[in-house]
Chains A and B, each alone.
Chain A
Amino acid sequence: MYRNHKTGIIGIIITVIVLILIVAFSNGENNASFFENVASKLVMPVQNGLTYLKNKISGNSTFFTDINKLKEENEELQAKNSELEQSLRELENIKTENEMLKGYMNLTEKYGEYKTIPAYVINKDISNYSKTIIINVGKNDGIQENMTVIADEGLVGYIVSVTDTTAKVQTIVDTASSVSATMSSTDESIVCKGTLDSTKELKAMYIPTDYNIIQGDSIETSGLGGIYPKGIHIGTVKQVEATKNVTDRYAVIETAVNFDKLSTVLVITN
């Protein structure tokens, strides 16, 4: 296996650490704050001890001698703390449930003109190259292929296949997706395509040569193509990329829906 067992184990440990560090530093804020927390937990006790020593030496210490009293107080506080933690957990459960129900309410109120069925996202594609999702409604709920899927913020995609209890949705950020759209300031049609390297951006192509695109322009579905109904919000123009040939220029669209955190959707059935 390994020429030297000890070297092998050290090698594996180093690889694990390297992997965790790569993951942490490549994913920005979330993991960074996690590591900050870990680091602070490791360093803070030492820091506290040093501060205490410093205070004691400089005569500012308020340390008192009644250790028994302190112990009692500590026990009481610990008991109270666990009670509070328990209630906090219960409250958090209620809060999550409440937010989910509010999400449903918002969705149905916003898209009241459409007949819709709510659904949860139960799975996401495990490949790096396609961005399909699976939802928990299917034929039994009246879902059919080519139905449009939306979320509170805007367009999600359409149903590509359906089983009795689940449906597969091709999201608009998938590289195989093309959505015919219009900009808020004009009636001209453009095509929004998914890109490989982002789950938050689309590439708007075939922009009319005589049209000036404005950053922040709202993009909506045009209703062309026969899948998506007209007027569903897709996103906003983030940036315009000029090319040598004006016909090749394209715009980067920031999707209204955050596909990384997508959990509830509505399927438009009419």
Chain B
Amino acid sequence: MDSNISGDTPDLSRSQINRLGRRLRKAGTDGISDADRDLLERLVASHGPALAAVQDQLMQTLGVRVTSRTKTTGTLIEKLQRNQSMALSRMQDIAGARLVLEMTRVQQDQLVARIVELFPGAETMDRRAQPSHGYRAVHVVVQVDERFVEIQVRTVLQDLWAQLTERLGDAWGRGIRYGDPPDDPDALVGSGTTRQAFFDGLLHQAERIDAVESIAVDLLELEDFYRSTTATPENLRRLEELKQRHRSLEDETREFYRALGLLN
């Protein structure tokens, strides 16, 4: 007999959910039975109240815009198939909330800290320190009423990169988000560039954004430090070099986006 433990829905036990996950992984999106589709819909719907509660609490407490979504059937099954050992009851992003704000990384850290305070037991995944195939953000996984909710906290720069990559994945295969090459990687894009080279450029852009955001923090810290002490000429020279490096990277970032915007 299945026990009523964390991860159960009111009428689905954890082991039933995990068996469902194994069947979904095997059947794929095309082969899902009506009975399993019913079960999956019940599981997804059971996350609705927890997700709404998290979204409300974030908006009311933090005063920021938050949006939410439950995972689609297709992306849920794709995830099970990508992660062969994942138990469906342990999938942490069936319900997800997202915050995208114009902020520095220090402010992003502060926002994450406030979210963690709001939800005892929250777990943080810093995808800036451990990017996933170029994707950077901070994810906080919380549990409400025994349901996981994943909160994605992104800066505007991190989000734009993610949106572009998702959009490109729509056309060239969603596997690019997980390290696969684009479909038809040697096909030409624009002026003689292959899809693969183009996507490599997008991955490089992720590194550039990372540098822009990291240097911005260094600059703020240095400027703050020099306000409280007498800077030597060497200190000032170092500061100016860092500013120039930051400006140069920002220019390169914009130039890359300008080139993307001109593609057909």
Q: Do A and B bind each other?
A: no
